């Protein structure tokens, strides 16, 4: 039955056939969905400010108010749009970005907020949801068949990026952008023949185990390792080596900045057609300090990335998102200038990928509450997925029999697409 379709496509076909029999239609025709992943070369760079970036000190300043504290605002290259004085470089790129000032979350704790921002779903029960990068590989596949399609720089060591999906759709982790893919070459004491023989010997030892326990997860990891070996032998591996960049370029991103060098590597990877890259920037949990240094570091790396994407003709094909799990309290601590967690209103930034930019979406009441165009995190996921060309509302059934889709019940953010 349906011999020309792989198991996943057969399952999707039968799911849709059942819906059609019951009189339920889907958003697009069966023929469109049976031909394979959605054809799109859109890429995603997801810059994640881990810990809760203060919206009032960055993208939603309210100068002259008690909520603003000592931070003033500066103009940008878009008339009427102001941002924090600590971001003079990004001010020159605001025409390429849209600021969403009306983000809202139901999760005010780090773990739950981080999970929601990465998956679009609240953490519930034992189910683990996939991230945007995993959804994109599932729906769209790789662009460059040699390089991994999903990479996370400075990753969370305990974060299951693939969720309930196949492990091979998860993210390749890179702990330090400056070091690239470590241990990617064969051992120095082994020549090519010896290295190949050792790998074959390991396969032989594994055969008995694999035959006894034929599980999809084991096969997925085997496929993952096969791809890694193929990459080791490929010239494309140079995409991970930022030392090939000029000293001037590395300094423009911030040569001592882990985040800045991560942004540079993200540019190199999308330039070589890696589908999704996340750069995690930790240290934003600023309860007892004004995070001026963090903001200036983010400003430098983010602006250098936008400049390079535009100059290299990559901006139209690359969606860039700067996100965080929640904002910080409008009430600033007078003794330390720190702020606590605040999920009722915060800011995210999005640009590139053919989106409408040079605008502000939504507004807050001096950082306290969303006053117009409330945007919830599933809305952000739905918008990103749609802009990338994913079928955001297509229902996929997990092996446990539960229905899921990228973006959950989110709707498109008005004014972006």
Residues in the chain: 417
Average pLDDT, the chain: 86
Q: Is the pLDDT of residue 205 over 80?
A: no
169, 37 in Cβ contact below 8 A?
Answer: no
What is the model's pTM? 0.84
Provide, rounded to the nearest whole percent, the portion of the chain with pLDDT above 90.
Answer: 73
Closest to 332 (Cα-Cα) out of 16, 145, 42, 71: 71
Strands (E), 245-377: 276-281, 318-324, 327-328, 341-342, 346-352, 359-361, 363-364, 370-372, 375-376
pLDDT digits (tens, 9 = 90+) for 289-328: 999 999 999 999 999 999 999 999 999 999 999 999 999 9
92-150 per-position pLDDT tens digit: 999 999 999 999 999 999 999 999 999 999 998 899 999 999 999 999 999 999 999 99
Q: Distance between CA 211 and CA 220 in Å, rounded?
A: 14
Question: The tokens of 413 are what?
Answer: 């953010």
> Buried (b) or exposed (e) across 199-218, using 16+ Cβ within 10 A?
eeeeeeeeeeeeeeeeeeee
Q: Could you give the 3-state DSSP secondary structure of residue 81?
A: coil
C-alpha 116/C-alpha 106 separation (Å) is 9
Does residue 10 surpass a pLDDT of 50?
Answer: no
Report which of 351, 364, 377, 291 is spatially closest to residue 98, judged by C-alpha positions: 351
Beta carbons of 305 and 93 less than 8 angstroms apart: no
- Residue 199 pLDDT more than 60? no
Each residue's pLDDT tens digit, 320-375: 999 999 999 999 999 999 999 999 999 999 999 999 999 999 999 999 999 999 99
Task: Please count the CA atoms within 13 angstroms of the CA of 265 that sit on its side-chain side.
Answer: 31
Higher-scoring residue by pLDDT: 64, 192: 64
Render pLDDT for 394-406 as a digit per residue (tens, 0 to 9). 999 998 999 999 9
Question: Could you tell me the domains of the chain?
Answer: 7-18+38-180+241-404 (3.40.720.10)
Cα torsion for 179, 182, 188, 189, to the nearest 10°?
150
pLDDT number for residue 11: 44
CB 308 within 8 A of CB 290: no
Q: Is the pLDDT of residue 79 over 50?
A: yes
- Residue 4 and residue 323: Cα distance in Å, rounded? 41
pLDDT top residue among 385 and 236: 385
Report helix, strand or coil for 53.
coil
């Amino acid at each position: 039955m349906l011999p020309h379709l792989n198991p996943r496509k057969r399952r999707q076909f039968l799911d849709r056939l059942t819906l059609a029999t019951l009189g339920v239609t889907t958003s697009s025709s069966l023929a469109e969905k049976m031909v394979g992943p959605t054809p799109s070369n859109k890429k995603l760079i997801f810059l994640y400010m881990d810990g809760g970036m203060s919206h009032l000190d960055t993208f939603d300043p309210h100068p002259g108010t008690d909520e603003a504290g000592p931070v003033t605002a500066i103009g940008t290259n878009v008339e009427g749009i102001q941002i924090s004085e600590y971001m003079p470089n990004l001010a020159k790129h605001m025409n390429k970005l849209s600021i969403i000032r009306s983000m809202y979350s139901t999760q005010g704790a780090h773990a739950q907020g981080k999970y929601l921002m990465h998956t679009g779903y609240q953490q519930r029960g034992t189910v683990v949801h996939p991230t945007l990068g995993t959804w994109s590989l599932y729906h769209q596949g790789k662009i460059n068949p040699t390089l991994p399609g999903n990479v996370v720089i400075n990753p969370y060591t305990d974060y299951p990026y693939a969720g309930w999906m196949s492990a091979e759709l998860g993210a390749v982790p890179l702990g330090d952008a400056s070091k690239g893919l470590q241990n990617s070459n064969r051992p120095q004491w082994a020549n090519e023949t010896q290295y190949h023989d050792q790998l074959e010997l390991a396969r032989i030892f594994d055969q008995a185990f694999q035959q006894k326990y034929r599980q999809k997860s084991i096969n997925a990891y085997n496929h993952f390792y096969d791809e890694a070996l193929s990459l080791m032998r490929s010239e494309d591996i140079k995409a991970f080596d930022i030392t090939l960049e000029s000293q001037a370029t590395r300094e423009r991103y911030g040569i001592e900045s882990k985040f800045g060098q991560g942004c540079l590597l993200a540019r190199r990877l999308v330039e070589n057609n890696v589908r999704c890259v996340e750069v995690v920037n930790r240290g934003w949990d600023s309860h007892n300090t004004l995070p001026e240094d963090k903001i200036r570091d983010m400003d430098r790396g983010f602006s250098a990335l936008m400049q390079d994407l535009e100059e290299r003709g990559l901006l139209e094909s690359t969606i860039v998102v700067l996100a965080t799990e929640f904002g910080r309290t409008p009430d600033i601590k007078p003794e330390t200038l720190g702020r606590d967690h605040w999920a009722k209103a915060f800011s995210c930034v999005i640009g590139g990928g053919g989106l409408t930019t040079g605008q502000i979406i939504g507004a807050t009441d001096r950082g306290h509450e969303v006053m117009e165009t409330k945007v919830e995190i599933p809305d952000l996921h739905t918008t990103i997925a749609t802009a990338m060309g994913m079928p955001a509302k297509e229902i996929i059934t997990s092996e446990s029999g539960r229905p899921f889709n990228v973006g959950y019940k989110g709707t498109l953010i008005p004014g972006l697409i």
